Amino acid sequence: MNQSIVPTLCRYIIAICLFIVPLKILEQGYLPADDALRHAAKVISGKSWDQILVLSDKIKTDTHPGWHSILELVHKTTGCDQFGLAGFSVIMLFFIFCFVTLLFLEFPESWFLALLTISLVNDHFVYRIFSGRPYIFTMSALLCLCFLWPKLKTDRPPYRVLLLLTLLIALSVWIHGTWYLFILPVSCFFLAKEYKAGLRLSIVSAIGIILGAVLSGHPKLFLSQNITQALLIFGSNTPQRMLAYEFQPFEGDVLTVIIVCGILLWSYGRQRWNVSKIYNPLFLLALMGWFLGFLSKRFWWDWGMPAVCVWMSQEYQSLLKEKFNKPSLTRLVVALFLAIVVYSVLTSDVHYRWSDRVATTYLDYNKLEHRKLLPQPGGIIYSADMSIFYQTFFKNPDAPWRYVLGFEPSWMRQDDLKIYRNIHKSFFKGSSYAPWVKKMKPEDRLIVRKAKYEPPEIPGLVWYYLPDTIWIGKLPGQSDNPIGRR
Model pLDDT for residues 232-252, shown as the tens digit of each residue: 888 767 777 777 788 889 899
Concatenate the DSSP letters of all residues of 84-136 into one string.
HHHHHHHHHHHHHHHHHHHHH-SSTHHHHHHHHHHHHH-HHHHHHHTS--THH
* Spatial CB neighbours of 72, under 8 Å, sequence gap ≥ 6: 43
Whether 116 and 32 share a structural domain: yes
Whether 341 and 454 share a structural domain: no
Whether 344 and 448 share a structural domain: no
Contact 316/110 with Cβ under 8 angstroms?
Answer: yes
Helix axes 305-323, 281-292, angle to 10 degrees: 140
pLDDT tens, residue by residue, 415-473: 999 999 999 999 999 999 999 999 999 999 999 998 888 889 999 999 999 877 899 99
Contact 284/189 with Cβ under 8 angstroms?
Answer: no
What integer is the mean pLDDT of 224-231? 89
CA 349 to CA 256: how far, in whole Å? 22
| Residue 320 covered by a domain | no
Q: How many domains does the chain have?
A: 2
Whether 347 and 387 share a structural domain: no
Whether 418 and 334 share a structural domain: no
Full strand arrangement of the beta sheet holding 401-403: 401-403, 379-382, 445-449, 470-474, 462-466
Whether 89 and 27 share a structural domain: yes
Whether 340 and 443 share a structural domain: no
pLDDT tens, residue by residue, 153-182: 998 889 999 999 999 999 999 999 999 999
| Residue 103 covered by a domain | yes
| Residue 269 covered by a domain | no
Residue 3 is predicted with a pLDDT of 60
Which H helix or E strand runs over 259? helix 254-269
How confident is residue 270, by pLDDT bands cut at 50, 70 and 90? confident
Residue 358 is predicted with a pLDDT of 81
Whether 140 and 38 share a structural domain: yes
Q: Is the predicted pLDDT of residue 253 greater than 50, yes or no?
A: yes
| Residue 280 covered by a domain | no
CA 98 to CA 96: how far, in whole Å? 5
Whether 104 and 219 share a structural domain: yes
Residue that is last in its domain, among 285, 320, 352: 352
Q: Is the predicted pLDDT of residue 481 greater than 50, yes or no?
A: no
pLDDT tens, residue by residue, 79-114: 999 999 999 999 999 999 999 899 999 999 999 999
| Residue 319 covered by a domain | no
pLDDT tens, residue by residue, 271-330: 777 888 899 999 999 999 999 999 999 999 999 999 999 999 999 999 898 888 777 888
Whether 343 and 385 share a structural domain: no
Whether 405 and 434 share a structural domain: yes
Cβ neighbours, 10 Å, residue 481:
15
CA 256 to CA 254: how far, in whole Å? 6
Q: Is the predicted pLDDT of residue 370 greater than 50, yes or no?
A: yes
Cβ neighbours, 10 Å, residue 29:
15
How confident is residue 2, by pLDDT bands cut at 50, 70 and 90? low
Whether 337 and 450 share a structural domain: no
| Residue 318 covered by a domain | no
| Residue 425 covered by a domain | yes
CA 75 to CA 393: how far, in whole Å? 17
Residue 452 is predicted with a pLDDT of 82
| Residue 287 covered by a domain | no
Tell me which residue range forms the domain holding 208: 3-47+55-228+329-352
Mean pLDDT taken over the chain: 91
Instruction: Please indicate, yes or no, whether the overall pTM of this predicted structure exceeds 0.95.
Output: no
Contact 377/441 with Cβ under 8 angstroms?
Answer: no
